[in-house]
Amino acid sequence: MRNKDFILKGHICYSENSETLTIMEDSYLVCVDGISKGVFREIPEAYRNLPMKDYSGHLVMPGLTDLHVHAPQYAFRGLGMDWELLEWLNTQTFPEESKYGDEEYARKAYRIFAEDLKRSGTTRAAVFATIHVPGTEILMEELELAGVTAYVGKVNMDRNSPEYLIEETKASAEATRRWLSDLKEKEAAGNGFRHVKPILTPRFIPSCTDELMRLLAEIQKEYHLPVQSHLSENFGEIAWVKELCPEAEFYGDAYDRFGLFGEEAPAIMAHCVHSGEREIQRMKERGVYVAHCPQSNTNLSSGIAPIRRYLNEGIHVGLGSDVAGGHSLSIFRAITDAIQESKLRWRLCDDSLKPLTVEEAFYLGTMGGGSFFGRAGSFLEGYEVDALVLDESRMRHPQELTVRERLERFLYLCGDQDVLHKFAARESIF
């Protein structure tokens, strides 16, 4: 149902910035052509005729952004959890990803992923597919159907990968061009995707030769594509990159040498758990987006990223589920995981970096990641309206709660299954 002009009534909760969480009780969010006109205690004269969706008593908040998720790994979420990163890639990830060369399997698996994402609180996502072009297009179709605004990447990998899941260097670049020109053609014919766009996706440095990176950089310039990849997740991985790219100053420089680190177009780098000083400064200079994936970093024993430091530096940070390094697709869960892990980091590693607050983690899950998509993840005037109506009525309590308390409890104890209605991509999703 197209539903671009409306007013939402409820307890409206949204971030203004990383520190300020605004809660407007019994208020009105005015949405015109999918864009917020602001939140008001009383409906302004000019909007009195708009249809009203009355969710009085309910919490209403912006949709969540998943800044890093591997769609083909959704099938094995919550399995093989006793492995570390590099072993886990070989035993779990690569064998499953190889199946997505089969279009029938890809359709079946990606439909499950997209339908579950549709029912979740996530409205925007940056998604890894696999090396397979038809499978990647199937994923894009399924996400479009699910009403998720997404960047989707055909993965590139031409070295250090099993023979059943590897590309020749030139063939990898050519396949990427074929995919992109196919999307262009569809668009030109009026059959393009409305909410799903391509993003360059070299898997990570160990999987991509310099020559492939050079070819991808050419493609980036030609198509003006953003890029997503992985950075400084795990000590073994970092040592490996150092060995593979002795000429790079640090891990991130191995992307930056090719202009694939935010110089030409925005870049999302997942993890950044162990980034050193020079890498952090380069991330800042290039406007890199950190996709913080606390659950995955815990499951794979990677460590805890210094998110407080990144916020202090003014680096962009959003949250990622990193399914299936993370087992849960829920960005609500990522919000509380981010707080919890920051507390352990403060206690165990560095007590100069204070734990994240509820306000800050809420920001990361909404506006922090949302800003990669433009003006998204808030209800400030001019923002695209992705909205969730929450229902935490199953949480029983003997005492009165404030709206702020209800929101905090929702984040910790409720989740995707407690989203009553979802508005995204200028439509009512459910």
Residues in the site for a second copy, rule: CB under 8 A? 75-82, 96, 99, 105, 108-109, 112, 116, 295, 298-304, 327-328, 336, 339-341, 343-349, 355, 357-358, 396-399, 401, 405, 408-409, 411-413
CB 378 within 8 A of CB 367: yes
The residue among 281 and 357 lying less far from a second copy, judged by its C-beta, is 357
Nearest distance in Å: CB 340, a second copy: 5
The residue among 256 and 341 lying less far from a second copy, judged by its C-beta, is 341
Q: In 10 A of CB 384, how many CB atoms?
A: 24
Q: Which residue spans within 224-272 are E strands per DSSP?
A: 227-231, 267-271
Nearest distance in Å: CB 40, a second copy: 28
The residue among 80 and 192 lying less far from a second copy, judged by its C-beta, is 80
| Whole-number Å distance between alpha carbons of 129 and 138 | 10
CB 162 within 8 A of CB 90: yes
- What are the tokens at 204? 């990570």
Q: In 10 A of CB 320, how many CB atoms?
A: 29
| Whole-number Å distance between alpha carbons of 75 and 6 | 37
Nearest distance in Å: CB 96, a second copy: 8
Beta bridge partners of 269: 229, 290
| Whole-number Å distance between alpha carbons of 247 and 258 | 13
Could you tell me how far CA 219 lies from the centroid of its own chain? 23
The residue among 79 and 145 lying less far from a second copy, judged by its C-beta, is 79
The residue among 237 and 384 lying less far from a second copy, judged by its C-beta, is 237
The residue among 341 and 384 lying less far from a second copy, judged by its C-beta, is 341
CA distance to 86, 205, 214, 246, 250, per residue, from 240 (Å): 11, 9, 20, 10, 11
DSSP 8-state class, residue 2: B
Nearest distance in Å: CB 113, a second copy: 9
The residue among 191 and 352 lying less far from a second copy, judged by its C-beta, is 352
CB 316 within 8 A of CB 368: yes
| Whole-number Å distance between alpha carbons of 274 and 304 | 8
The residue among 39 and 364 lying less far from a second copy, judged by its C-beta, is 364
Q: What's the half-sphere exposure (Cβ side, CA atoms, 13 Å) at 345?
A: 24
The residue among 337 and 384 lying less far from a second copy, judged by its C-beta, is 337
The residue among 332 and 379 lying less far from a second copy, judged by its C-beta, is 332
3-state class of 273 per DSSP?
coil
Nearest distance in Å: CB 279, a second copy: 19
Nearest distance in Å: CB 333, a second copy: 10
The residue among 30 and 411 lying less far from a second copy, judged by its C-beta, is 411
| Whole-number Å distance between alpha carbons of 175 and 163 | 17
CB 121 within 8 A of CB 415: yes
Nearest distance in Å: CB 379, a second copy: 23
| Whole-number Å distance between alpha carbons of 149 and 400 | 37
Nearest distance in Å: CB 118, a second copy: 13
Nearest distance in Å: CB 258, a second copy: 31
- What are the tokens at 191? 């059959």
Nearest distance in Å: CB 377, a second copy: 22
- What are the tokens at 349? 């590693």
Nearest distance in Å: CB 99, a second copy: 8
CA angle, residues 320, 322, 327, in degrees to nearest 5: 115
